[in-house]
Structure 1
Amino acid sequence: MNTTKPLRCGDDLPTALYTAAQVRELDRLAMAQQGIAGFTLMRRAGRAAFEQLLRCWPEAGRRQPIVIVCGCGNNAGDGYVMASLAKQYGLAVSVLQVGDASRLQGDALLARQRALQDAVSVQAFTPGIVLEDAVVVDAILGTGLNGPVRAPQLEAINWLNQLSLPVLAVDVPSGLCSDTGQILGEAVNADITVSFIGLKQGLLTAAGPDVAGDVYFDGLGTMTPTYAAVDHQCERLLLSKCLSILPGRRLSSHKGSHGHVLVIGGDTGMGGAAIMAAEASARCGAGLVSCATQPNHTAAFISRSPEIMANGVVSGQELEPLLVHPSVLVLGPGLGKRPWGEQLLQQAYNSGKPMVVDADALNMISAGRVLKKPYRSDWLLTPHPAEAARLLGCSTEQVQANRFAAVRELQQRYGGAVILKGAGSLVASDEAALSLCSYGNPGMATGGMGDVLSGVLGALLAQGLTVAEAAKLGVCLHAYAGDIAAQQGMCGTMASDLIPVLRRIINGGIQ
């Protein structure tokens, strides 16, 4: 039933993100170090999901029956625990068993036996079952999926998605790869997902936000030493924490104290991209902002933002003297792919200045005509999936199939820091762990958003942040501003709507 909406993934969720294998190790350690029996963990998981179900749908089991769809693994065990609890609470509950129940083993089998002892109604799932009104629990597959969903689970997922009823997914929506966020054939479209022990990284990127709905978490009583023993490789970013790294301003500071950003771009007909990037830099604290653009765009700069020093250039040679004073370059917004843009890219790269690289500058780098084997430690690349695919020489589908692997490969191949944009934007740098931004919403899927982001990043670099620090803070600022702008409605949000919001956020205006 899940409809398009921003992912509820607030600061109450943990920041450490895990793969399925890492969570299995957390399970093992919790049992070994803390003496927790496996069935005890299963009962805790079932109770956590059941209590969340009642919080979200207080009338479940009263005015609406609860229907729990169970598969043949441990995920099904959690579902059977939920069924027993509902029965003990006197609620209307039943189970649909997908697949051969004789395949259930260990704790999951014990949970099924307990549910049958509690007189829970269990019947075999068939695609022809009619269900008109219920709260449905998806306990079909969980995290163990490593290939495309097959029958009968595939039939159950398709049936469930056609019901238009509220759905709670246990641990992860069935059919979603919990490691990558890729849908493996088909996936349950849930309204809420309750994740256990370790928050699964695939819930928050790629297709994960499309199918997970609101994400909740319960550690099931796992203690800190257990988490310390498993080295996770991805961290969820918190805006409040990222903002703390932004340096304060001395009373004696002046415009030269906060850096000079030069935006390079705005080929004919694309001057707006460069203007938005320059304005975002100014609103995010750069002391000076200038722009090198096509001469016919300078009047627009002056009329819209007189604070920005607009310079018309017709060649790379004319750009060269403008590269002396800036501390940071933002290269790409509206740059185009004509010889004009190629000359500016070459001059900017050869200047040795730290830079943010976006849009057509990335496409020219991937084409390989202007720069040979480009690699730098002081630049920040911001590709969307299609640009990332061109940089890696693969397809967009391959990038999206494993965004974590893609952003790591981009950083290893090109250096510096890389932001792989999209739902659940990822940041890679020389640091061991990746970072994931869980802010943002579908209203930001409009032209110019990337130009605003590149300007934000340029301002942060100009104020002394490293490329890794700027990438983390910048992607959070940008996405959070998009969330605030979308409060007036996601449809119709424009990139320029974010610019005044950015100023409020960077000055501590977190809502």
Structure 2
Amino acid sequence: MPHTKDDLPDALYSAAQVRGLDARLIAAGTSGFELMQRAARATWRALVRQWPAGRELSVMAGHGNNAGDGYLVAVLARRAGWAVRVLAVGDPQRLQGDAALAHAEAVSEKVSIEAWTAQSTLSGIVLDALLGTGISGEVREPFASAIDAINTSGLPVAAVDIPSGLCADTGCLLGHGVRADLTVTFIGLKLGLFTGDAADVVGNLVFNDLHADPQLLEMAASSALRLTVANLPRLAPRPPTSHKGKFGHVLLIGGDRGFGGAILLSTQSALRSGAGMVSVATRSEHIPAALARLPEAMVLGASSANQLMGLLEKATVLVVGPGLGQAGWGRSLLSAAANAPLPQVWDADALNMLATGSVSLPKDCIITPHPGEAARLLGMTTAEVQADRPAAAHALSEKYAAVVILKGAGSLIASPDGRLALCHQGHPSMATAGLGDVLAGLVGALLAQGMDAFEAACLAVWLHANAGAQQGKSGRGLAASDLIPAIRQLLEEQAPCLK
């Protein structure tokens, strides 16, 4: 059964887990070669749907099962009357098992097979059947040069199972990676197709379960949950007797001199996302702007932590960090927040000070680092975080005993109990300042309305990403505040107020 990018399963697997699923199917009575034939047919159907006018195919084949899929697609294309060439990267005599059977079938069908060299030319549609999910370490020659040749060809590219060079577990490109227009993947969705570098190289994603028994798939452990409309955590509907006291009191702390906009964006987001009451503690210089922009919020000009104490007693949730700075004022306010026995969201400079060890994170917290902040929190480089985003999210959650939102392409939400969720929606126009401030306020509002930390983080990330996708249709120039009305609309669709 084929699935497009908008109609995919929820479970995400590691490469090893998918190999385990494959082994289960074979043990249950479906031969490996039959699965390979099904994969080839699924790839061929998707390829023809994507390029209905295509009549020529260049298959770049390696020497594993991925290559076997490619040889069988070449057979199908030749039978359909296409001009077909297989360019073998590496000696086809190295093929074993089912891949060797696929090569033999291509030979018997008189498919043109030739050795790839740096002088080889590509034509028509290119099928990437070079490297599958088993690759570890950097892509080596001759595959690195073959991948570069595909990328510089200017031709449409389809990838079998995963673009060659993309790590199926982490979404990191291993030195060289095929940039595909179409990727057809099988049996179980790989986590690496949805985070890190994946968005730049996967293209249109089509999934086919190869007629696997659903019960076999349901019994298998997965690595993560892909957030969808169907599985999102939901706020309870609001009854007609609702009043503000039932939906929490969010206190937002931040906005040092020169950074007042960040805390106001977070405050506006919390207000518009359903918190019953919202207060903000900021520099006194920002009070006029806050009252002009957000008359619904209670605003305190705080020059020291002592002035926070009365507000801390009334709040039910804290959001700390947007525009906080790392000077004495911010350190003082963060210290007071860290000692408050309340659920909290820590963002931005709160995380930077946490990374220095000058403050400890209280329990029941959500932290929202981008990759740079995550690197400081883990004592590694940003490149190391991006090289294995799922591992970094789990490590942060374990180290700080907190729910973690690791932001970026394919945002990840990790819980200390080991759960991992992924949101791959979004838009390139979201690469602009202030988006994190909006997210922090949204998470705080959902916590205030009674959601637990992991569920609030999952729903907030999905709302934020889909609001960005919706508003990003207009292209560049997206402002962070543009997301807030869209978030409000999406939230009402998910959890309507009862009339």
What is the TM-score normalised by the length of structure 1? 0.94
| AA aligned opposite 2:390 | F
Question: Which residue in the other structure is 1:24 paired with?
Answer: 19
The count of residues paired between Structure 1 and Structure 2 equals: 493
1:340 to 325, 329, 332: 329
- Select which of 286, 293, 316 maps to 1:297: 286
Instruction: From 461, 484, 487, give the equivalent of 1:502.
Output: 487
The structure 1 residue matched to 2:58, chosen from 51, 67, 76, is 67
Q: Which residue of 2 aligns with 1:3?
A: none
**Conserved in 1, the CA contact under 8 Å of 2:128 and 2:159?**
yes
Q: CA deviation at 1:430?
A: 3.3
- Contact 1:482–1:498 at 8 Å: present in 2 too? yes
Structure 1 residues 268 and 350: alpha-carbon distance in aligned structure 2, compared to 1, 3 A threshold: same
Partner of 2:269: 280
Matching residue within 17, 32, 42 for 2:36:
42
Match of 1:250 among 234, 239, 250: 239
Match in the other structure for 1:471: 457
Which of 423, 439, 443 is the matching residue for 2:429? 443
1:205 counterpart letter in structure 2? T
Deviation (angstroms), 1:151 = 0.9
Matched, 1:452 2:430: no
> Any unmatched runs of 5+ in structure 2?
none
Identity across matched positions, percent: 50
Deviations along 1:153-198, whole A, 9 cap, x unmatched?
Answer: 1110011111121111110110111111111110001111111111
For the 8 Å contact 1:293–1:311, the answer to whether it is kept is yes
Q: C-alpha separation between the residues in 2 aligned to 1:10 and 1:60?
A: 22
Paired letter, 1:47? R
For 2:169, what is the secondary structure of its paired residue?
coil
Show structure 1 runs of 4+ deviating over 3 A.
8-11
Q: Which residue is 1:401 aligned to?
A: 387
Tell me how far apart the structure 1 counterparts of residues 361 and 188 of structure 2 sit (CA, whole Å). Answer: 35
Cα contact 2:291–2:297 (8 A) shared by 1: yes
- Identify which of 418, 424, 427 aligns with 2:413: 427
CA contact (8 A) 2:195 2:411 kept: yes
Structure 1 counterpart SS, 2:74 = helix
Cα distance, 1:229 vs. partner? 3.2
Question: Within 2, Cα distance between the matches of 1:263 and 1:480?
Answer: 24
The worse-fitting range, judged by mean Cα deviation, of 335-344 and 208-217 is: 208-217
Cα offset, 1:360, TM superposition:
0.3
8 Å CA contact 1:233–1:432 kept in 2: the answer is: no
CA distance in 2, matches of 1:187, 1:135: 17
How do residues 61-460 of structure 1 correspond to structure 2 at under 5 angstroms? 61=55, 65-131=56-122, 133-243=123-233, 245-369=234-358, 371=359, 374-460=360-446
In 2, Cα distance between equivalents of 1:445 and 1:9: 26
**Cα distance in 1 for residues equivalent to 2:97 and 2:340:** 64
Q: Distance in 2 between matches of 1:10 and 1:463?
A: 32
| Conserved 8 A contact 2:259-2:323 | yes
Query: Structure 1: how far apart are the matches of 2:5 and 2:442?
Result: 23
Question: Per the alignment, in what secondary structure is the counterpart of residue 182 of structure 1?
Answer: coil
Which of 181-190 and 425-434 deviates more? 425-434
Q: Which runs of 5+ in 1 are unaligned?
A: 1-7
Matched, 1:492 2:492: no
Structure 2 contact 394–416 (Cα < 8 Å) conserved? no
Deviation digits for residues 240-292 of structure 1 (CA, Å, limit 9, x no counterpart): 4325x211112111111111111111111111111110111111111111110
Normalising to structure 2: TM-score of the pair? Answer: 0.97
Question: Aligned-pair distance for 1:466?
Answer: 0.5
Task: For 1:190, give the aligned amino acid.
Answer: A
- Cα deviation digits, residues 272-316 of structure 1 (max 9, x gap): 111110111111111111110110111111111211112111111
Amino acid at match of 2:120: I
